[in-house]
A and B are shown apart, each in its own frame.
Chain A
Amino acid sequence: MSLFYYTFIPIVIAFIAYFLNKKIKLSLAILNSVVFAYLFYQISRLYNQWNIPHETISYYMFDREIQLIFQLTPLSWLFIFMTTGAGLLIAIFTIKSQQEYVLRSSFHLNFAILIGSILGVVLAGDFLTLFIFWEIMTWSSFFLISSGKKKAAQKASYRYIILSTIGAYLMVTALFIIYNQIHTFGYNQVAAHLSGLPITESIILIIMLAIPFIIKAGVFPFHVWVNGAHSNAPKEFSPFLSGLMLKVGIYGVILLLYFVPLYNILKESVNYRGLPIFNYILAIFGGITVITGTILAIRQEDVKRLVAFSSISQMGYIIMALAISTPLGFTGGLLHLMNHMIFKTTIFLSIAAVIYRTKTTKMSEMGGLIFKMPVTFTAYLIAIIALAGIPPTNGFISKWVIYQALIDKGYIFLSVAAFFGSIGSFMYVFKPLSTIFLGQLKPEHENIKEVPFLMQLPMFVLMALILLFGILPGLQMNLINQISQLLNIQPVGFTLYSITGAFGKWNSLVIFSLFVGGFLLAFIIFISAKKSKQVGLMDTYTSGEYMDDPEAYHYAYQYFRPFDRVFDSFAARSLTVIYDTFAQNIVKLGNLFRKSIVTGNGQTYAFYMVLFIVILAFAGWII
């Protein structure tokens, strides 16, 4: 099947299904799922067919035929596989959960267009195609975020799209400056041309090309949109936003640095501690992102904002690992990219399930749901074990490789940031676990049931993947080594169940067997011990005292207050304020113009005309 169709089938089906949805309810969601399943299947068959020829479409512009090129590489295969996989899981999840939604059909329409455009971005073979699909992706995600139920959704999506568009316009300016010199948009030609330019000019152009991707990835100082977008987007879209949209920015960074490859040009520039200055600054920003995201996440009371900040800090990990440009770093970054998508989607899906049942996102208003929603609890538990980086889950492996990479090169600040992020991440993921699932059940949640099977199915799949990749990392390493070979990076040694790091090998099979052995031992002891007596929850908690209001004893609000107090002054200085002030000043300028120029008085207008002539005449038109 032609590569071009991967991009257009979702979009076309979306429109057809949108009109169909008016007649038959639910058809849109089911049609979406079917289409994504089909695409997923086709894409998995494309594995290892790296020699598919490029496809071009001719578009007549600028007085000549422009070729829009589509190509398939291992790197793009990874992303389209992840995209359609995540899209499929979310489409299945939303069959049930979107039923009571306002503008529900527009959600599916925009979601399908979004998937199509991400496929287009990743399959693009030249910069113009990339830009076209990048814009479509930004716009469809804008409409998706706007359709959230909260009032703040409008402002959040506004901020998102304006920031994204500023980045995209910087890229288009740089792109056309280059185009006017070489009259083509292809990756290789652009790279060849940039290496021929003087070094400062090429660095400025590279920075302008890279900024939209860095903005989309949510790296400091552009992380201001992530928070608002995540917490206000519809709850079914947040997993995708965290899991994939941020990653597309990372794809762009990998594309520019290694695929094009602009790294060779950057190497010629100023080097600091073995890295080009651009990479070093990017890595430092990654480290700052990790720390900022972690500290801000710990303070949040709203569970979606918490997970949003957590995504920001994990993106910081990936950027750090990619920016340091070592084989281990690259491998670690890509591993974390894949693993983060899996476990973050799981976390978001379980939280979406909880929100679906309890209709609130404030953690202090929930509690004790462990017995009511056991599947959701298990999914969340396994996902946070992965996020914290504990074996035998996949999150441990990616974090381990990143630590090895950082320590191997001796970057102290970055390693400290990484460790701080790890410890902090355990704090902030434990908070929702304890406040939502453990603790006391609120009276209004007495009748909550588990979510429907269609919503549980994605969670099962993802849980299985977390454990599978934790035990057999070789499955992922196979693909990653192919990507490394494509990008001329030295591959990292691996077998099906072990990875070779800088200081030794990680053998996951051994560790997993140890875990299973330990678990079995504990289970045997539990079974063979005397049967325990069932006691009411509050009896042990209050040592037999009588109380009538158990929910007042649910420890949930300001969970980590002592820790937060340390960072209060830091968190008070928000970067968002700077952006907002800048925007407000522009608005004030417009207000000034309006009040001074548009007076509403006809005589003043006549005066303007004469004044105009006089000014122009003396400014040089006549004199």
Chain B
Amino acid sequence: MVNLILIIALPLLAAFLIPLFNYINKKLPSIVVFLTTAINLLIIILNYNQIILEPVIIELGNWQAPFAINIYVGTLELISITVISIISLIIAFYNLNHSNFSSESKFHTLYSIIIAGIYGIVMTGDIFNLFVFIEITTVAAYGLTTFNKDKGYEAAIKYIIIGSISSVFLLMAIGFTYSAVGSLNMAVIAAASNLIDPGLVRIISLLFFVGIAFEAGILPLSIWVPDVHSIAPSAVSSTLSGLVFLAGITALIKIFFNLFADPSLYVFLMIIGAISLIIGELIAYQQDDIKRMLAYSSIAQMSLVLTIISVGTKYAISGGLFQLFNHAILKTLLFLTAGLMIKYAGSRNISDLGGIAKRIPLIAVGFSVGSLGILGVPFFNGFVSKIMIVNGSLNAGEYILTFLVLFATVIEMAYYLKVIQTIFFGKISINPHKIVKSYVPIIVLITVVFLLGIYPELITKPLNQATGELLSRSDYISNVLGGM
């Protein structure tokens, strides 16, 4: 039983040692990062069975909760970190020698830091620690965005402006909470949330929402997403789109279901999510730049997840969470293949990507598998989650919401199919550039997609357990505060 804190500590350690490794050998940083992510996955696998039985709580420095920062890994966090570790491993493998920046040590340092930050957001049990890790993640993201020389700075500046405003709000929320409750530990706040003045609770929850939703992909707070995700290198885009959004939504869920479980707020979340979903899909259709289109699609998917989860019933929450994990896997596949296609064709525009599927068949098939997964074709993983979402919202009687979700899917179909048709059946109009073809990440991701499509119980069984834990706050509180 390896201490789970290593999952966060190892990438941080690797990040700060990379300049030293870089001095020894230029290739060493990428290998170090790859090894770190592999060790993380190993640690998680070793601890998996134990965490399924009972949530693991680790107190830092051996101080008891609520005096110390604690790490809480329940079933939901377990599934999240499993997915994060697999995907970060695949992206680290891709970074070994396929990325444009594989030889820059600064890239690997920042990548390592952002991975540590993501794990931290998911696993933490303390709200100020959450703030710290969100800041770590965002600052690393600011840095990673600027690797693209022509437009990276502009996108990063917009990101910084919005990020700073959001952290101000987040800090205000934490300040209010601390002054009202007297502790920063999530379980203590959850236990005491009934005693706080209801008006204050609403103010705090609004500030928390604004502070975290910018990291979670909800319009209009995530208006920086299209710029940043399209400008960043494809490995970074997949991390941001897949993993950071996953962490952000997980944090939002923990706050709105564990900390301040106020059902009257869920209506607001539903409406915000629905509006963001429709606007995101409609704007995505307009795009000609393929990575921008994928970025808008990420925003729309995250809003979809938020909307469904805020319905609040067991079926809806498990459907939304499954969609979240599927999206992480699929978006990584999409961004990696899109990045390779852009490098091959030398252009980001969809209209220039005509007919390249004949030259780079596996990459084109990878893109298609990713899009078909998001659209929900049977035997892909997206089908099961989409059916669960429809089931969940109809179960709760939300007919308009179901109609909006399905309408958004039809629009999604419109723009993804445009790309698939162009790359498979269009006319070749570009001079191909030489690229290093990377097959292993694509094949691994396709296998995972089909595996989850045919055996969804790999995730749905733990997910049911996670949903149960999420909906019963008292278990969470008693688990953490045990002896008190």
Q: A interface vs B, CB < 8 Å?
A: 60-63, 103, 106, 132-133, 135-136, 139, 142, 146-147, 153-154, 157-158, 161-162, 165-166, 169, 172-173, 176-177, 179-180, 586-587, 589-591, 593-594, 597-598, 600, 602-603, 605-606, 608-610, 612-613, 616-617, 619-622
Among B5-13, B78-86, B92-100, B156-164, the one that faces the other chain is B156-164
- B421→A158 contact, CB < 8 A: yes
B residues 363-382 near A (Cβ < 8 Å) are 372, 377-379
- B417→A161 contact, CB < 8 A: yes
A177 to B205 Cα, complex, angstroms:
33
Q: Which residues of B contact A600 (CB under 8 A)?
A: 227
Q: Is B387 an interface residue (CB 8 A)?
A: yes
- Sample of 6 more A-B contacts, CB < 8 Å, known A61-B384, A172-B406, A597-B220: A63-B315, A132-B383, A157-B421, A173-B390, A176-B391, A605-B223
Task: Provide the B455-470 mask, 1 if CB < 8 A to any CB of A, else 0.
Answer: 0110011001000000
A619 to B222 Cα, complex, angstroms:
21
Of chain A, the residue at the smallest CB distance from B164 is A606
Q: Is B482 an interface residue (CB 8 A)?
A: no
Q: Is B249 an interface residue (CB 8 A)?
A: no
Q: When A135-B378, A162-B414, A172-B390 are in contact, do A606 and B161 touch as well, CB less than 8 Å?
A: yes
Q: Which 9 residue pairs across A and B have the least CB separation, nearest first? A: A590-B282, A60-B457, A132-B378, A169-B406, A608-B220, A602-B158, A594-B283, A176-B394, A154-B421
B residues 197-248 near A (Cβ < 8 Å) are 199, 202-203, 205-206, 210, 214, 219-221, 223-224, 226-227
Q: Which residues of A contact B214 (CB under 8 A)?
A: 609
Least CB distance from A64 to B in Å reads 10
Task: Provide the B329-370 mask, 1 if CB < 8 A to any CB of A, else 0.
Answer: 000000000000000000000000000001000000000000
Other-chain contact of B388, A62, A154, A617 (Cβ < 8 Å): A62
Q: Which residues of B contact A613 (CB under 8 A)?
A: 169, 206, 210
Other-chain contact of A165, B202, B413, B418, B425 (Cβ < 8 Å): B413
Q: Which residues of A contact B451 (CB under 8 A)?
A: none
Of chain A, the residue at the smallest CB distance from B402 is A173
Of chain A, the residue at the smallest CB distance from B393 is A176
- B424→A103 contact, CB < 8 A: yes
Q: Is B128 an interface residue (CB 8 A)?
A: no
B residues 264-303 near A (Cβ < 8 Å) are 265, 268, 272, 279, 281-283, 285-286
- A173→B414 contact, CB < 8 A: no
Q: Which residues of A contact B406 (CB under 8 A)?
A: 169, 172-173
Q: Is B411 an interface residue (CB 8 A)?
A: yes
Q: Which residues of B contact A161 (CB under 8 A)?
A: 413, 417
Q: Which residues of B contact A135 (CB under 8 A)?
A: 377-378, 383
Task: Provide the B144-166 mask, 1 if CB < 8 A to any CB of A, else 0.
Answer: 00000000000001100110011
Q: When A63-B464, A161-B413, A622-B202 are in contact, do A146 and B421 touch as well, CB less than 8 Å?
A: yes
- B391→A616 contact, CB < 8 A: no
Task: Provide the B245-267 mask, 1 if CB < 8 A to any CB of A, else 0.
Answer: 00000000000000000000100
Q: Is B440 an interface residue (CB 8 A)?
A: no
Q: Is B193 an interface residue (CB 8 A)?
A: no
Q: Is B410 an interface residue (CB 8 A)?
A: yes
Q: When A136-B377, A161-B413, A161-B417 are in contact, do A593 and B223 touch as well, CB less than 8 Å?
A: no
Q: Which DSSP category, helix, strand, loop or mixed, fits chain B's interface? A: helix
Least CB distance from B474 to A in Å reads 22
- A136→B162 contact, CB < 8 A: no
Least CB distance from B320 to A in Å reads 14
Q: Which residues of A contact B203 (CB under 8 A)?
A: 622
A617 to B205 Cα, complex, angstroms:
11
A177 to B403 Cα, complex, angstroms:
12
Other-chain contact of A61, B202, B224, B226, B388 (Cβ < 8 Å): B388
A591 to B285 Cα, complex, angstroms:
9
A176 to B386 Cα, complex, angstroms:
12
Q: Is B395 an interface residue (CB 8 A)?
A: yes
- A621→B282 contact, CB < 8 A: no
Task: Provide the B406-434 mask, 1 if CB < 8 A to any CB of A, else 0.
Answer: 10011101100110010011000000000
Q: When A169-B406, A621-B268 are in contact, do A606 and B162 touch as well, CB less than 8 Å?
A: yes
Q: When A154-B421, A593-B283, A598-B226 are in contact, do A617 and B158 touch as well, CB less than 8 Å?
A: no
- A–B pairs, 16, beta carbons within 8 Å: A61-B384, A61-B387, A61-B460, A63-B315, A63-B460, A132-B378, A157-B421, A165-B410, A177-B394, A598-B283, A602-B161, A610-B165, A613-B206, A616-B206, A619-B268, A622-B203
